[in-house]
A and B are shown apart, each in its own frame.
Chain A
Amino acid sequence: MADKVRIRMTVNGLEQRGEVEPRMLLVHYLRETLGLTGTHIGCDTSQCGACVVHVDGQAVKSCTLFAVQADGSSVTTIEGLVKDGQYHPVQEGFWEKHGLQCGFCTPGMIMAAADLLNKNSNPTDAEIRHALEGNLCRCTGYQNIVLAVQYAAAKMRGEPVTGAAD
């Protein structure tokens, strides 16, 4: 076992310092060391995207990065997405459009979708589907996820949106 390495990063706005094994994956650091269990693990081959977080503003599969590689960076997880008690528009879209069932893929899906909308404020359906190709959902068949992202995009552009009946 290699010696532990000191790391330091900002996670959801709080500074975190610690010592980790060099081989520790970022996802395990977040989940097990920091207790941020909203970031999930759905595979062992970097396919599923359940583990997506933002590192310095970019969507990253946290199972594909060692914690030491995120040293010095600023990480946002699903737990850090609510601002001033308000849902991020993507979170709101997933709720309004029934974009989730079991919820296991949802944190990664939301983080990936938020990243897309940072780069493209008015994506087409095809662009949304393409951007989410690294995120697998087994429950929804994706249609409501696309609708959820459209809802969020419209909302972020300041356009009127329609939600569920309630």
Chain B
Amino acid sequence: MAEVTKMIGKAIKRREDPRLIQGRGNYVDDIKLPGMTYAAVVRSPYAHAKIKGIDVSRALAHPGVLAVYVGEDMLDINPLPAAWQAGGVKNVAVTPRALAVGKVTHVGDGVALVIAEDRYTARDAVDLVEVEYEPLPAVVDARKATEPGAPLVHEAAANNICMEWECGDAARTSAAIASAEVVVKEEIINQRLIPTPMETRGSLARYDVATGEFTVWMTSQAPHVMRLLLTAFVFGIPETRLRCIAPNVGGGFGQKIFCYADMAFTMWASRKLGRPVKYIEDRSENYKTSTHGRDHVTEVELAGTRDGKVTGLRVKTWANLGGYFSTIAAGIPTTLYGRILTGVYKIPAAHCKVWGTYTNTALVDAYRGAGRPEASYLIERMMDRFAAEIGMDPAEVRRRNYIQPQDFPYDNGLGLLTYDSGNYEPALNKALQMVDYQNFRHEQAEARKQGRYLGLGLSSYVEICGVAPSAWIGAAGQGWGAGLFESANVRVHLTGKVVVTTGSLPHGQGVETTFAQILADELGVPYEDVTIEWGDTLAAPFGYGTYGSRSLAVGGMAMHRSAQKIKEKAKIIAAHMLEAAPEDMVFENGRAFVKGSPDKAKTLAEIALQASLAYSLPQGTEPFLDETTYYDPPNCTFPFGTHIAIVEVDPATGKVDLKRYVGVDDVGNIINPLIVEGQLHGGIAQGVAQALYEHGFYDDEGQLLSGTMLEYAIPTAAMLPWYELEHTVTPSPVNPMGVKGAGEAGTIGSAQAVMNAVIDALSHLGVKHMQMPATPERVWRTIQSSKQAAD
């Protein structure tokens, strides 16, 4: 009479929503404390300059101003930490201080801090601080920064190189390229993006003068990690002196993983003043001073045979790290990029070399997908280049090189863990079917006769989710400076209500809903009886937080494990209640009974009551059902899929019309289809935006020309397509739930689908490659120059 699964797999609406749709969320800027003060920052207008002097006197005299601090005042705290350096090589990690000392390295670098009674006064006083700068020449391009004579961002980093890293087999790859029938070469730029969560970042710090303890409310994806970094590294105080709370977080996309100057300076100023200090960046500050993503310059060669087999891949990438080293900056273009460059293909020889370089720009760190979008863009662009070169259909070329189902677990030879499971061709076939591929090619040919440019772009991707086994990521080869397990505590209270506290930190992913669905099924209790708590280092066991699509595959598994422990203990107590032997007990659908006698059962609520009252428990059994797990995954998970974009390019204006967007994704087993679709939509939107609209653009002087929402083209509803999504399901063998993760797949699969489509639309003009974003101007220029070349 085993009851079937009730909640897992159901598209139920989110329990997070009622408060958010009523405007009853609680974001950091919504919090007001008694005696709270407001901070505003004096920021450098120069990309690179010496600070010759700062005169704060006028600002200090301004009514309502409580204090003005400069970098030298805060020398009693350490610079921010570098938590993930490139593995196995030397890193010259120069991290920022709470405020700049002596010199600034990018526009927006903080040079002084104003604290005032209210927000407006603080901003007024910023304009009264006089800073004398000696401007220095600037460099903004990652590759040019390494050239002789380039301005030096940090004395310690010769040629602006923070680290030089490689993976793969250089000799084999050179041999494969030297002996290849066909070699295609390209210079590919993965432009700088600005993550742009709709809530900007900020911190509210309160120092308790009586106890010497801090509380910081922060816009963070990882409050436990911030607590560790701020206490052990920045302030040098016991970890227990700081409580970090992430309330509602208005989107993160990576930007809210890191340790930022404002966390440190609000804490420092609060201790100094004995009053709470709030700092909320405005959007322009977010654009100039919170982290950016991507920004690679790459030289790539792909070798193959005339019949479509890829035999070698050689990659050289200059990864821009910006003006200082951000928290996990060097891990992104190395472990999360170089090690997955061969994508879904079996490529016998590959090598990747990466230089992480300092420039006079905002710091670059993880942005949704983090390394993997750059990798899949590169390989997928090159697969199309190769297909065009040998005159073969791009779908066929992909098919001929896919890793086959029997090859899993698959080792790509680049120092990654083995790919857990995959079956790539069905996803491709399904996507081709959805767009009626053969028919499209006819349509395209007909359209060209009429002077209309239609194009179709393919993208087959694989990504890394559920990061990561601590023994792998923390080892010398990868350089991550900690573990990457996740925690969950599950308690069944006296009344039978279940409370979970998780180290995951949802900021839009619907974790409260998904986790409650899982636990309701696992423990056989009503979904409504399960509460998920998170976000407060005082309440939750230590956890690493939410990024790298790890909430479900790592955090969810920690909870799953705790549920198993609860059931084991419940069986022991039920056996005692039923005067049976524990080993004869089974637990099913929320009830424990002797095998074969399901009618004489104890419900979980009855058992929890017994466990809580505790007057009659079996010998040696502790009261209460309360179990904690720290789950360290044995491997990452590797979702995959094929995306197809169809575009029409207007030959007169260069405008790209994204007519259809089709995706077939395999994210393993699905807990809540509604939430998975939502994650994919948002992910795809960000990839499409990279292909067509967005560019974090610095001029040669290091001025950010896309420094507000006026210039940085976040797409609106009218600029994005309908997403037509299907799935294949290849469960992950890594965890018993068979889940993989869906938070970043959309972004990782999409930019190249759109770019391949745009380039396909222009291929009859001889266009082989174009850099992103494919703005009307760039497309129009490309059309014009290819026409000139043809004349």
Instruction: List the one stretch of B153-161, B245-253, B297-305 in contact with chain A.
Output: B245-253
Q: Is the pair B120, A107 in contact by a Cβ cutoff of 8 Å?
A: no
Instruction: List the one stretch of A3-11, A64-72, A75-83, A153-161 in contact with chain B.
Output: A75-83
Smallest Cβ distance from B318 to chain A, in angstroms?
Answer: 28
Contacts A95-B18, A101-B678 hold; do A38 and B27 have CB atoms under 8 A apart? no
Instruction: List the one stretch of B9-17, B586-594, B597-605 in contact with chain A.
Output: B9-17
CA distance A137 to B284 in the complex (A): 17
Q: Which residue in chain A gives the minimum CB-CB distance to B11?
A: A165
Q: Is the pair B23, A37 in contact by a Cβ cutoff of 8 Å?
A: yes
Instruction: List the one stretch of B65-73, B412-420, B712-720 in contact with chain A.
Output: B712-720
B510 contacts partner chain A, Cβ-Cβ < 8 Å: yes
Q: Is the pair B250, A140 in contact by a Cβ cutoff of 8 Å?
A: no
Q: Is the pair B198, A82 in contact by a Cβ cutoff of 8 Å?
A: no
Q: Which positions 640-681 of chain B face chain A at CB distance < 8 Å?
A: 674-675, 677-679, 681
Query: Contacts of B120 on A, CB cut-off 8 Å?
Result: 21, 23-24
Q: Is the pair A38, B708 in contact by a Cβ cutoff of 8 Å?
A: no
Which of A35, A43, A100 meets B17, CB within 8 Å? A100
Interface centre among A24, A44, A141 (most CB of B within 10 A): A141
Q: Is the pair B21, A100 in contact by a Cβ cutoff of 8 Å?
A: yes
Q: Is the pair B16, A138 in contact by a Cβ cutoff of 8 Å?
A: no
Smallest Cβ distance from A127 to chain B, in angstroms?
Answer: 10
Which of A94, A102, A110 meets B508, CB within 8 Å? A102
Query: Contacts of A61 on B, CB cut-off 8 Å?
Result: none
A26 contacts partner chain B, Cβ-Cβ < 8 Å: no
Which of B12, B251, B686 meets A104, CB within 8 Å? B251
Smallest Cβ distance from B178 to chain A, in angstroms?
Answer: 45
Smallest Cβ distance from B679 to chain A, in angstroms?
Answer: 8
Q: Which residue in chain A gives the minimum CB-CB distance to B746?
A: A141
1/0 per residue, CB under 8 A from A, across B251-275: the answer is 1110000000000000000000000
Q: Is the pair B718, A139 in contact by a Cβ cutoff of 8 Å?
A: no
Query: Contacts of B29 on A, CB cut-off 8 Å?
Result: 31, 37, 41
Interface centre among A102, A142, A164 (most CB of B within 10 A): A102
Which of B20, B200, B678, B683 meets A144, CB within 8 Å? B678
Query: Contacts of B606 on A, CB cut-off 8 Å?
Result: none
Smallest Cβ distance from A129 to chain B, in angstroms?
Answer: 4
Q: Is the pair B716, A164 in contact by a Cβ cutoff of 8 Å?
A: no
Task: Give the dominant DSSP class at B's interface.
Answer: loop
CA distance A131 to B166 in the complex (A): 50
Interface size class of B (residues with CB under 8 A): 35 or more
B723 contacts partner chain A, Cβ-Cβ < 8 Å: yes
Smallest Cβ distance from B122 to chain A, in angstroms?
Answer: 13
Q: Which residue in chain A gives the minimum CB-CB distance to B24?
A: A38
Q: Is the pair A141, B11 in contact by a Cβ cutoff of 8 Å?
A: no
Q: Which positions 9-67 of chain A face chain B at CB distance < 8 Å?
A: 21, 23-24, 28, 31-32, 35-45, 47-48, 50
B682 contacts partner chain A, Cβ-Cβ < 8 Å: yes
* Tally of A-B Cβ pairs under 8 angstroms: 195
Query: Contacts of A78 on B, CB cut-off 8 Å?
Result: 21-23
CA distance A38 to B508 in the complex (A): 17
Contacts A45-B710, A141-B682 hold; do A103 and B25 have CB atoms under 8 A apart? yes
CA distance A107 to B679 in the complex (A): 20
B610 contacts partner chain A, Cβ-Cβ < 8 Å: no
Q: Is the pair B710, A138 in contact by a Cβ cutoff of 8 Å?
A: no
Smallest Cβ distance from A146 to chain B, in angstroms?
Answer: 7
Contacts A128-B717, A132-B717, A140-B678 hold; do A163 and B21 have CB atoms under 8 A apart? no
Query: Contacts of A77 on B, CB cut-off 8 Å?
Result: 23
CA distance A38 to B678 in the complex (A): 23
Contacts A37-B23, A40-B27 hold; do A102 and B678 have CB atoms under 8 A apart? no
Which of A36, A38, A44, A135 meets B283, CB within 8 Å? A44
Contacts A40-B250, A144-B678 hold; do A98 and B13 have CB atoms under 8 A apart? yes
Contacts A98-B13, A164-B12 hold; do A143 and B722 have CB atoms under 8 A apart? yes
CA distance A110 to B294 in the complex (A): 33
Q: Is the pair B22, A138 in contact by a Cβ cutoff of 8 Å?
A: no
CA distance A51 to B553 in the complex (A): 36
Query: Contacts of B11 on A, CB cut-off 8 Å?
Result: 164-165
Q: Is the pair B723, A141 in contact by a Cβ cutoff of 8 Å?
A: yes
CA distance A37 to B682 in the complex (A): 25
Q: Is the pair A104, B714 in contact by a Cβ cutoff of 8 Å?
A: no
Smallest Cβ distance from A71 to chain B, in angstroms?
Answer: 19
CA distance A133 to B17 in the complex (A): 23
Q: Is the pair A138, B198 in contact by a Cβ cutoff of 8 Å?
A: yes
Q: Which residue in chain A gives the minimum CB-CB distance to B688?
A: A141
B225 contacts partner chain A, Cβ-Cβ < 8 Å: no
1/0 per residue, CB under 8 A from B, across A73-97: the answer is 0000111011000010001001110
B199 contacts partner chain A, Cβ-Cβ < 8 Å: yes
Query: Contacts of B675 on A, CB cut-off 8 Å?
Result: 98
Query: Contacts of B683 on A, CB cut-off 8 Å?
Result: 141
CA distance A93 to B13 in the complex (A): 11
Smallest Cβ distance from A50 to chain B, in angstroms?
Answer: 6
B215 contacts partner chain A, Cβ-Cβ < 8 Å: no
Q: Is the pair B682, A101 in contact by a Cβ cutoff of 8 Å?
A: yes
Query: Contacts of B752 on A, CB cut-off 8 Å?
Result: none
B282 contacts partner chain A, Cβ-Cβ < 8 Å: yes
Q: Is the pair B22, A82 in contact by a Cβ cutoff of 8 Å?
A: yes
Query: Contacts of B507 on A, CB cut-off 8 Å?
Result: 102
Query: Contacts of B199 on A, CB cut-off 8 Å?
Result: 40, 42, 102, 104
CA distance A43 to B197 in the complex (A): 11
Q: Which positions 92-112 of chain B face chain A at CB distance < 8 Å?
A: none
Contacts A102-B250, A103-B508 hold; do A140 and B13 have CB atoms under 8 A apart? no
A136 contacts partner chain B, Cβ-Cβ < 8 Å: yes
CA distance A116 to B518 in the complex (A): 38
Q: Is the pair A133, B27 in contact by a Cβ cutoff of 8 Å?
A: no
Smallest Cβ distance from B252 to chain A, in angstroms?
Answer: 8
Contacts A81-B22, A101-B510, A103-B508 hold; do A43 and B283 have CB atoms under 8 A apart? yes
B196 contacts partner chain A, Cβ-Cβ < 8 Å: yes
Smallest Cβ distance from A57 to chain B, in angstroms?
Answer: 18
Q: Is the pair A47, B709 in contact by a Cβ cutoff of 8 Å?
A: yes
Contacts A136-B198, A138-B198 hold; do A96 and B20 have CB atoms under 8 A apart? no
CA distance A10 to B17 in the complex (A): 27
Q: Is the pair A43, B708 in contact by a Cβ cutoff of 8 Å?
A: yes
Q: Is the pair A166, B717 in contact by a Cβ cutoff of 8 Å?
A: no
CA distance A50 to B23 in the complex (A): 11
Contacts A38-B23, A81-B22 hold; do A138 and B253 have CB atoms under 8 A apart? yes
A106 contacts partner chain B, Cβ-Cβ < 8 Å: yes
1/0 per residue, CB under 8 A from A, across B1-39: the answer is 000000000111110111011111111011010000000
B329 contacts partner chain A, Cβ-Cβ < 8 Å: no
Q: Is the pair A103, B717 in contact by a Cβ cutoff of 8 Å?
A: no
Q: Which residue in chain A gives the minimum CB-CB distance to B14?
A: A98
B685 contacts partner chain A, Cβ-Cβ < 8 Å: yes
Q: Is the pair B508, A142 in contact by a Cβ cutoff of 8 Å?
A: no
Smallest Cβ distance from A5 to chain B, in angstroms?
Answer: 15
Query: Contacts of A44 on B, CB cut-off 8 Å?
Result: 282-284, 708
Q: Is the pair B718, A101 in contact by a Cβ cutoff of 8 Å?
A: no
B684 contacts partner chain A, Cβ-Cβ < 8 Å: yes
1/0 per residue, CB under 8 A from A, across B481-524: the answer is 00000000000000000000000000111100000000000000
Q: Is the pair B198, A130 in contact by a Cβ cutoff of 8 Å?
A: no
Interface centre among A31, A134, A144 (most CB of B within 10 A): A144
Q: Which 7 A-B pairs have the closest CB atoms?
A: A38-B23, A104-B250, A103-B20, A141-B685, A78-B23, A101-B508, A102-B508
Q: List 17 A-B contacts (CB under 8 A).
A: A28-B119, A32-B119, A78-B23, A79-B23, A82-B22, A95-B21, A102-B250, A103-B17, A103-B21, A136-B709, A138-B198, A138-B682, A139-B508, A140-B682, A142-B716, A143-B720, A165-B674
Q: A48-B283, A104-B198 are in contact. List 17 more A-B contacts (CB 8 A).
A: A1-B63, A28-B119, A31-B29, A44-B282, A91-B21, A95-B13, A101-B679, A102-B199, A102-B248, A106-B21, A134-B716, A138-B198, A141-B723, A141-B746, A142-B681, A164-B674, A165-B13
Binding site for B on A (CB under 8 A): 1, 21, 23-24, 28, 31-32, 35-45, 47-48, 50, 77-79, 81-82, 87, 91, 94-96, 98, 100-107, 110, 126, 128-130, 132-146, 163-166
